[in-house]
Amino acid sequence: MAKKKRQKQRTSFKKKHQDRVRQSDLTRDFHTGNRETLADASRGERVSGKGELTRKRTFIESNDGDTVSSSEKLIRGRVISVHGLKSRVLGDDGQMYECALRQVLKSLNIDQRSAVVAGDRVRLRAASLKDGMIESVEARSGVISRTSRGQQHILVSNVDYLLIIASVAEPAMKPALIDRFLLTAEYCGVKPVVVMNKVDLVDPINFQQITGAYASLGYRVLHTSAEEQLNISYLRSLLSGKQTALAGQSGVGKSSLLNAIQPGLGLAVASVSEDNEKGRHTTTAAKLIPLDSGGAVFDTPGIRQFQLWDIHANEVAGLMPDLRPFVNGCKYTDCLHLNEDQCAVKDAVADGKIDARRYDSYCHLLESDLLPNETRN
């Protein structure tokens, strides 16, 4: 029988989880007269990140993901939802587990708010038929995230499509928020679909212009109404066999659409506040919902503000398909297309080749979010 290969993995710990960096206080020993022991002390001290002077540790794993010290078989699964310190994981064996997180994973020095998010593929060790311990998290793809308090807040992971839900009324549409979701989808390599919901509430001519603007850029745009079952069958077939995340502000009808797509789902819904036309939160945490037709969707909490993660000001124009063709025509290679002279992007806006609203959204994003952050950094 061939011997299992061992794979070393080097990682960092949070500061509070490192060991004591020195065994003794040489200065204190010198002043207290304990000088005899200092004669044998090393005259130089390495601080290059070795041994106890580092927060890094090395873990050795076998090629099937089991730790070296383990003789038990780990179960693969996918995280359905995360609530505090507990995660619900659907194992590949068909069993649902309530899992805690291994201490070493909670101690990792990462920029993320949580080491485990909905959609993660994990390996767990079953403690009983219902309880388990997450031992490792597999590499992610298709990650939808935003910035929250200076950290990466991953909404979902391992998705193929991003369904951007916007309502044409109650609450009013926020095109700037749609633009931010589109940028994130472009950056993460996820296919976006713009869904204009609640179209039964207003005359279609009121949102035809913005629908046409997104469609002309190559984005798929879909008009829906959960109340009148408009395009629900089409949406159901679109989601079949796919891993799809739903995103949008509170009150746009994400849960209502899911209830229409899969009858009997029974997700909570709430009406929009009449005082401020803002939606009420009915979804408090991202949750993976398997579909009867195959695939799964992620119902995410409503978001009123979406701050981009890991996208810099000089990258935004290249992620926008309407601005991208004109970027190389600017006089300056580092042109941000704001106040610079001989800017091909601004000329295209003046000539009507770029939608003025989209350009205004671009300028507002840079000036309000990205440029202030990069100046501080």
Handedness of CA 368, 117, 185, 283 (dihedral sign): negative
Q: Work out the pLDDT band at 68, boundaries 50, 70, 90.
A: very low
Q: Is the pLDDT of residue 62 over 50?
A: no
The predicted pLDDT at position 306 comes to 86
Tokens of 251: 């009150």
The predicted pLDDT at position 119 comes to 95
240-260 burial, b at 16+ Cβ within 10 Å, e below that, comes to: eebbbbbbbbbbbbbbbbbbb
Q: Residue 91 is which amino acid?
A: G
**Whole-number Å distance between alpha carbons of 87 and 68:** 25
Read off the pLDDT of residues 182-216 as tens digits, 9 standing for 90 and up.
999 999 999 999 999 999 999 989 899 999 999 99
321-349 burial, b at 16+ Cβ within 10 Å, e below that, comes to: ebbeebbeebeeeebbbeeeeebbbbebb
Q: Residue 374 is which amino acid?
A: E
Q: Which domains does the chain have, with CATH numbers?
A: 1-26+48-139 (2.40.50.140), 159-299 (3.40.50.300), 313-376 (1.10.40.50)
How distant, in Å, are the alpha carbons of 97, 166, 240, 279 from that of 269? 27, 16, 23, 10
Q: Which helix (H) or strand (E) holds 220?
A: strand 220-223
Question: What is the model's pTM?
Answer: 0.77
Helix %, strand %, coil % for the chain, to 5?
A: 30, 25, 45
The predicted pLDDT at position 236 comes to 94
Read off the pLDDT of residues 70-107 as tens digits, 9 standing for 90 and up.
436 899 999 999 988 899 999 999 999 999 998 877 76
Q: What separation, in Å, do the N-terminal and C-terminal C-alpha atoms of the chain show? A: 54
Read off the pLDDT of residues 134-169 as tens digits, 9 standing for 90 and up.
999 999 999 999 988 888 889 999 999 999 999 999
Please name which of 276, 297, 238 lies closest in space to residue 81, comparing C-alpha atoms.
297
